[in-house]
Amino acid sequence: MLIRLAPDIRASEITPKRLYLNRRKFLAGLPLAGAAFMARDAAADTRLTGLTKSSFSTSEKLTPLQDITHYNNYYEFGTGKEQPADLAKTLRTSPWTVTVEGAVNKPKVFDIGEIMKMAPLEERIYRHRCVEAWSIVVPWIGFPLNALIKQAEPTAKAKFVAFQTLYDTKQMPAGRNAGIPLPYVEGLRMDEAMHPLAILCVGLYGEVLPNQNGAPLRLVVPWKYGFKSIKSIVKIRFVEKQPPTTWNISNAREYGFYSNVNPEVDHPRWSQASERRLGEFFKRKTLPFNGYADQVTQLYTGMDLRKYY
Amino acid sequence: MPLKRVISSRWTKVPVFALCLAPLFLLAWRGFSGGLGANPIEFITHATGDWTLRFLLITLTVTPLRKLLGWLELVRFRRMFGLFAFFYGCLHMLTYVWLDKFFAWGEMLKDVAKRPFITAGFTAFMLLVPLAITSTAGWIRRLGGKRWQMLHRLIYVSAVAGVVHYYWLVKSDIRMPVFYGALVAVLLTYRAASALIRNRALPVGQRQPVRPLP
C-alpha cells in the first residue's frame, strides 16, 4: 500500500490569518444575519509583531501549521487528536485574567493584555516531545517565565510554582469524559521555572495561539514531555511543597512530577527510546532532555532520574 | 419473508464481501488523498485495529441472530466474517511490524514480552491463526464437527484478549474499550446462558455436571 505522508506546506505558502480574515470583513459588510458576529471576529488582530529571534531556537524543519493545530492533546476538548481543533472553538479567550498568588510579595490578577506586554516577545523554535512518542518543531512566541516570576517577587517560602488551566464545563463539555481529574494542574520546581528555556507562550507561527494549542496563555518547557507545558493558564501559585500534577494524580506509576524527556526510562507501556517526528516516516532517536541537556542537566545533578522520572 | 430470501440468495455473498472490504478501500482512498491526518501510521494502526475488533464482534453476533431471529441461513457468512477479522488483524500486525517498527524484530520481541497491551494483542492475533487455517470444509471433516467446534471457541478468548489490548493501551478515556467489552460480554453471556438452558432441558441422566461456583 502506498502511504502518502502529510503534505509538506511551507510556512510561506500558508495564507496569513489577516488575509483570510479580510474575507470575513467583506462578508461582514453585507447586510447578512450574523454579520455583526463576524465583524467582531475580524476586528481582532491576531498578528504578533516586533518579535525578536532567540539563540535558543533550533534550525530544524518546522512542523506545518496544519499539523500543529490538528494533532492536539487537550482533553477538555475531547480525547481524540483532531477533536480540539473543532471543539475548542467554544473557548472564550477574552476577557481573560491570570491570578498570580501564594508565596509572593506582589500577588496580582493580571489581564491577559498586561501579560502580553510584560516582556519583549520572542520567537522560540523548540522541539516538542510528547510522552506518547511523537514530536513536532514549533515556532512558539512568548517570553521567559522568569520575567513574570521576578515581577511577582517570590518569598523564601516559594519552592515550587503551580499552574492551573481553566475548567468551565460550559465551554468545555467534553471535559466530563476526559478520564483525568480536572481542572488540569501542573507544576515546576522553582529553579526549573527560572530557567531561561521555560517560557510563557502567547502565540505560534507569528499569530496569537490557536485555542486548541492553549490560548491565550500556556507554558512551554521544551526539555520535558509535552503534558508539562500546561495550556490556557488561569492561575499561577507559588508554594512551598511539590504541587500535585494531573497526570501524576491520574497514574503515578506512568507519569512522574519531573517528566523530563529521557530515552533511558521507558513509559511502563511503551519505549521512550525513539519518537516519530510528525511528517517523517522513520522514527528518530529521542535525545536526553529532548536535546536540551547542555542547558538543563545541571538542574538535576545528584538526582536519580530513574526514581524521579 | 423477503429478508430471509435475501440472506439465503446465492448472490448476496458478493456484495457482502465487497462491503467487508469497504473499510480497506476507504483507508486507501484517505491515503491517496492525504486524509490520514498528521500521524498517518497511527491512523492506519487504529483503523485496522478497530476493524479487527468489529469483525470479531460481527462474527460472534451470527449465532445469536440465527437463534433469536431464526435467520438460520446467516451461517453462510460466518466464515467470511471470521476471515475478515483475521484479514484486518493481519493488516494491523503488518502496520506494526512494517510501518511502526520497520522490522526491528528485537524491539518487537521486547515489546511482546514487556508490554502487557502488546502481549494481549499478540495473543488475540495468534489465536486467530489456527482458526483461519482450519476454516475450510476439509479441515472441518478432518477434525470432526465436535472437535472443530471446540477449537473454534478460541475466538471467545481472542475477542476478550482484543478488548483487553484496547483497554490497556488507552491513556485515560476508556469509553470505547469499555463499549466493545460490554458487547463481547453480552455475546458471551448469551452463549453461556443458552448452553445452561440446553443442559437443563436434557433428561437428568444426560445432563453435564455443573461445577459449583467458587
Per residue in A136-178, pLDDT tens? 999 999 999 999 999 999 999 999 999 999 999 999 999 999 9
The pLDDT of B40-55, averaged and rounded, is 97
Parallel, antiparallel or unpaired: strands A108-111 and A199-204: unpaired
Q: What angle do CA A215, A137, A174 make, to 5 degrees?
A: 40
The pLDDT of A226-249, averaged and rounded, is 98
Please, which pLDDT band fits residue A253 given cuts at 50, 70 and 90?
Answer: very high
* Closest chain B residue to A269, measured at CA: B115
Please, which pLDDT band fits residue A37 given cuts at 50, 70 and 90?
Answer: very low
pLDDT of residue B7: 79
Q: Which candidate from A3, A177, A283 shows the least CB-CB separation from B40?
A: A3
Q: Is A68 helix (H, G, I), strand (E, B) or coil?
A: helix
Q: Is A79 helix (H, G, I), strand (E, B) or coil?
A: coil
Q: Which candidate from A3, A7, A250 shows the least CB-CB separation from B172?
A: A250
- Judge contact between A258 and A192, C-beta under 8 A: no
Q: Cα separation of B123 and B157, whole Å?
A: 9
Chain A environment of B31 (Cβ under 8 Å): 1-4
Put simply, whether B34 touches A (Cβ < 8 Å) is yes
- Judge contact between B167 and B133, C-beta under 8 A: no
Put simply, whether B168 touches A (Cβ < 8 Å) is yes
* Closest chain A residue to B38, measured at CA: A67
Q: Is B165 helix (H, G, I), strand (E, B) or coil?
A: helix
Q: Cα separation of B22 and B81, whole Å?
A: 13
State the ipTM, two decimals. 0.83
Chain position carrying cell 488582530: A45
Parallel, antiparallel or unpaired: strands A274-277 and A134-144: parallel
Residue B84: count of CB within 10 angstroms of its CB: 25
Mean pLDDT of chain B: 92
Which range has the worst mean pLDDT, A17-26, A222-231, B131-140, B152-161?
Answer: A17-26
Query: What are the domain boundaries of chain B?
Result: 2-193
pLDDT of residue B212: 53
Q: Cα separation of A88 and B114, whole Å?
A: 37
Parallel, antiparallel or unpaired: strands A233-239 and A97-102: parallel
Chain B environment of A70 (Cβ under 8 Å): 37-38
Chain A environment of B117 (Cβ under 8 Å): 269
Say if the Cβ atoms of A178 and B172 lie within 8 Å.
Answer: yes
Cα dihedral sign, A163-A168-A169-A173 = negative
Residue A30 burial class via C-beta count within 10 angstroms: exposed 0-12, middle 13-18, buried 19 and up: exposed
A207 φ/ψ angles, rounded to the nearest 5 degrees? -125, 165
- Chain centroid to Cα A137, Å, comes to 12
Which range has the worst mean pLDDT, A11-15, A222-226, A259-263?
Answer: A11-15
Say if the Cβ atoms of B40 and A270 lie within 8 Å.
Answer: no
Q: Which candidate from B37, B99, B172 shows the least CB-CB separation from A82?
A: B37
* Closest chain B residue to A78, measured at CA: B173
pLDDT of residue B184: 98
Closest C-alpha among A131, A145, A129, A157 to residue A63 = A129
State which H helix or E strand residue B87 sits in. Answer: helix B78-94
Which of the residues A73, A79, A138, A281 would you substitute to probe the B interface, choosing the one with the greatest number of B C-beta atoms within 10 Å?
A79
Put simply, whether B39 touches A (Cβ < 8 Å) is yes
pLDDT of residue A15: 56
Numbered ranges of CATH 3.90.420.10 in chain A: 50-300
Which grid cell is A282? Answer: 522513520
Q: Cα separation of A163 and A186, whole Å?
A: 5
Chain A environment of B99 (Cβ under 8 Å): 3
Which of the residues B41, B108, B172 would you substitute to probe the A interface, choosing the one with the greatest number of A C-beta atoms within 10 Å?
B172
DSSP secondary structure letters along A91-106: ---SS-EEEEEESBSS
Which range has the worst mean pLDDT, A41-45, A265-269, B6-10, B64-68?
Answer: A41-45
Say if the Cβ atoms of B37 and A177 lie within 8 Å.
Answer: no
Please, which pLDDT band fits residue B207 given cuts at 50, 70 and 90?
Answer: confident
Which of the residues B26, B102, B164, B171 would you substitute to probe the A interface, choosing the one with the greatest number of A C-beta atoms within 10 Å?
B171
Q: Cα separation of A77 and A165, whole Å?
A: 13
Q: Cα separation of A195 and A222, whole Å?
A: 11
pLDDT of A4 over the 80 cut: no
- Judge contact between B20 and B81, C-beta under 8 A: yes
Interface residue ranges in chain A relative to chain B, Cβ cutoff 8 Å: 1-7, 66-67, 70-71, 75, 79, 81-82, 132, 134, 177-180, 250-251, 269-271, 276, 278-279, 281-283
pTM: 0.85
Q: Give B151-185 pLDDT, tens digit per residue.
A: 999 999 999 999 999 999 998 999 999 999 999 99
Cα dihedral sign, A59-A65-A71-A77 = positive
CATH code linked to domain A50-300: 3.90.420.10
Say if the Cβ atoms of B41 and A3 lie within 8 Å.
Answer: yes
B209 Cα to chain A: minimum distance (Å)? 42
Which range has the worst mean pLDDT, A24-38, A156-170, A179-193, A258-272?
Answer: A24-38
The pLDDT of A170-191, averaged and rounded, is 97
pLDDT of A29 over the 50 cut: no
Q: Give B188-206 pLDDT, tens digit per residue.
A: 999 999 999 988 888 877 7
Residues in CB range of B170: below 8 A, 6 or more apart: B176, B177
Say if the Cβ atoms of A6 and B34 lie within 8 Å.
Answer: yes
pLDDT of residue A303: 95
Residues in CB range of A88: below 8 A, 6 or more apart: A74, A77, A210, A211, A212, A215
Put simply, whether B115 touches A (Cβ < 8 Å) is yes
